[in-house]
Structure 1
Amino acid sequence: MAMTGVLRPGHVQLRVMNLDDAVRHYRDIMGLTETGRDAEGRVYLKCRDEIDHHSVVLREADCAGLDFIGFKVLDEATLDRLEADLRAHGLETTRLPAGELLETGERVRFQVPSGHWFELYAKKTAVGNGCGLVDPTPWAPENKRGMAPLRLDHALLYGPNIGAVQKLFTEVLGFTLVERVLNPEGSANLIIFLNCSIKSHDIAFAEYPEPGKLHHCSFLMESWEDVLRAGDIMSMNKVPVDIGPTRHGVTRGRTIYAWDPSGNRFETFKEDRQPYPDHAPLTWTFEALGAGGGLDYVQRKLHETFLTVVT
């Protein structure tokens, strides 16, 4: 498919309660590369196969959670057009100046009906993945350490009004509804999975009474074996695991969920489905989310923490 408009998830800014512990987790245990620190004390990191300067920003705060998530768009003309479209849809937008995030151009920030803050941007300094642009190597040995995820892949966000969120993302931002889980009554969507590519999802939302909550940020692994290796590293470093290793029925992803030192959930994930925009969305009943293996295909059960623990 032609990649235009919104291209991909570009970065998340996470609140952590102890910056040193968080840096040790994301840099030394997970294996992200630290790429900078700014005057506010924020720490910037990237995954090993990412080209741009950063995908994870850590900010020390009194409580854990998500400050905002940014998506990269094709170019500045696209940024201007989408800002106008967001305003026409009734959302307020704010322009943040270039450089407010390290090595990042102007950003358009807005709040969606679930209470989460998003931003769009067109420019971020390319630092490369260490493989080179001419006769590249398949991977850079200096970047493959720790769990060694390839990229920041997606996030699942909890909040209210996901029907309005779906309308915004599909009708204004050009995303596609790929998969959905119905509520227990079967009358509305409980969880929606949206993409702007052919990934199983670039962002997902679950209906939840409290606004602006983070369920997890997901990091793409190269293989199922690398997901299992990440599990070994979690155990060696006493990283608390929530679910897995297992497979989802929903999205067919192979996965382990665990928590960083502040209690932010993260996922090591191997994608196993690539839907095109003309594919009909898949629908799961709430009953099948548990007994049908939608969440945990191996054990075919719901995990209470998955439905209730958010930051």
Structure 2
Amino acid sequence: MGVLRLAHVDVRTPDLDLSTAYYSEVLGLSVVRRDDDVAYLKCWDEEDHHSLRLRYDSRIGLDSFTFRVEAEDDLHDLEKKLEAYGCAVRRVSRGEAVGQGESIRFEIPSGQTMELVWELEKTGNLLGKLNPAPMPPPTLPGIAPPRLDHMLINAEEVGESYAFFRDVLGFRMTEQVLDANNHQLGVWLERSHSPHDIAIVNGPNGAMHHFAFWLDDWDHVRKAADILAYNGVQIDQGPTRHGVTRGNTIYFFDPLGIRNEVFTGGYSPDPDFPAITWTEDQFGRGLFYYENVVAQRFLRFHT
């Protein structure tokens, strides 16, 4: 019971046409619905209505992010825990948000808007449920990831944010980075038995570092790099490997400057998996294991 998985990420863009073209033609997501000021997209193996919402706004950045809960009663139980913590919780009525039923929205300690929802409109994946093929058609454009995987947000007080996600929302820490005084510089948290569903790293409150899509293997990461280079997309880091999570990765920017990632590999933490700790002097190797160094742009650029 409780929080189940990441459902969708909602971002702002000052050029909706350009952003929609990039995420559909280069990333290879399907446009589910397009209105005058908003577009909804999803990956080929996702059942929900959408996993990414693009909203026109003069400011670029994160609107909110949404996690699904396991049972309808979880919304009520978590609402009480959030209010006891001191969060102002707003109920969102069924039909107010496209593709989902009733939800609750609140501001987390680091300033981002988070949403919890149980009922999501199920529109099905591209393969269907009767004698499906094991892979999508080769005619899909772009990178074509099967699903949204995780996101990373920033917090000025990582320890405070970690305590909130642990004590109020029931997340479990898989890895952390500590400074010389044992203060947390970064934490990786999960609910879906993956290396992380969300990570929190030291930075300005309210900011998002990136959101990431899953790929099935390292060869798909290599192919993604070819597609990005062919389309002139600015690659930030990679292809390379993380020490933290053990995953393989590429980071890159969409045309308006939002950082994306494609990710594969990692481990499946058992329920009694002990958290891994990295020290600040090894943070470079933890983030980029092959290079053992982190560019300042990677640490300091947020949206």
Shift of 1:162: 2.0
- Write out per-residue CA displacement over residues 50-75 of structure 1, whole angstroms, 9 at most, x where no aligned residue: 11010000011122110100000112
2:195 equivalent in structure 1: 200
Shift of 1:187: 2.3
Q: Which amino acid aligns with 1:306?
A: F
- Write out per-residue CA displacement over residues 101-144 of structure 1, whole angstroms, 9 at most, x where no aligned residue: 21211110011111111000011111111222233321231784
1:281 equivalent in structure 2: 275
Q: Which amino acid aligns with 1:33?
A: S
Pairwise mapping of residues 91-240 of structure 1 onto structure 2 (< 5 A)?
A: 91-141=87-137, 144-183=140-179, 185-208=180-203, 210-240=204-234
- Write out per-residue CA displacement over residues 240-296 of structure 1, whole angstroms, 9 at most, x where no aligned residue: 000000000011110000000110000011132111221110000111112xx2111
Which whole-Å CA distance do the structure 2 matches of 1:119 and 1:137 have between them?
34
Q: Which amino acid aligns with 2:201?
A: A
Q: Which amino acid aligns with 2:27?
A: M
Which whole-Å CA distance do the structure 2 matches of 1:32 and 1:302 have between them?
30
Aligned partner (choices 7, 12, 15) of residue 9 of structure 2: 12
- In the alignment, structure 1 residue 47 sits paired with structure 2 residue 43: yes
- In the alignment, structure 1 residue 32 sits paired with structure 2 residue 23: no
Please state whether the residue corresponding to 1:101 is helix, strand or coil: coil
- Write out per-residue CA displacement over residues 202-227 of structure 1, whole angstroms, 9 at most, x where no aligned residue: 0011122x210010001101111111
Which whole-Å CA distance do the structure 1 matches of 2:198 and 2:27 have between them?
21
CA contact (8 A) 1:158 1:205 kept: yes
CA contact (8 A) 1:176 1:277 kept: no
Please state whether the residue corresponding to 2:188 is helix, strand or coil: strand
User: Where does structure 2 lack aligned partners over 5 or more consecutive residues?
Assistant: none
Q: Percent identity?
A: 41
1:294 equivalent in structure 2: 286
Which whole-Å CA distance do the structure 2 matches of 1:166 and 1:231 have between them?
33
Which whole-Å CA distance do the structure 2 matches of 1:75 and 1:287 have between them?
42
Which whole-Å CA distance do the structure 2 matches of 1:164 and 1:101 have between them?
30
CA contact (8 A) 2:45 2:125 kept: yes
2:82 equivalent in structure 1: 86
CA contact (8 A) 2:28 2:144 kept: yes
Q: TM-score, normalised by structure 2?
A: 0.96
Which whole-Å CA distance do the structure 2 matches of 1:306 and 1:186 have between them?
24
Corresponding residue pairs, total: 303
Which whole-Å CA distance do the structure 1 matches of 2:209 and 2:258 have between them?
8
CA contact (8 A) 1:129 1:140 kept: no
Pairwise mapping of residues 41-80 of structure 1 onto structure 2 (< 5 A)?
A: 41-80=37-76
Which whole-Å CA distance do the structure 2 matches of 1:222 and 1:299 have between them?
23
User: Where does structure 1 lack aligned partners over 5 or more consecutive residues?
Assistant: none
Shift of 1:306: 1.2
Shift of 1:299: 1.3
Which whole-Å CA distance do the structure 2 matches of 1:71 and 1:123 have between them?
11
CA contact (8 A) 1:220 1:271 kept: no
CA contact (8 A) 2:5 2:69 kept: yes
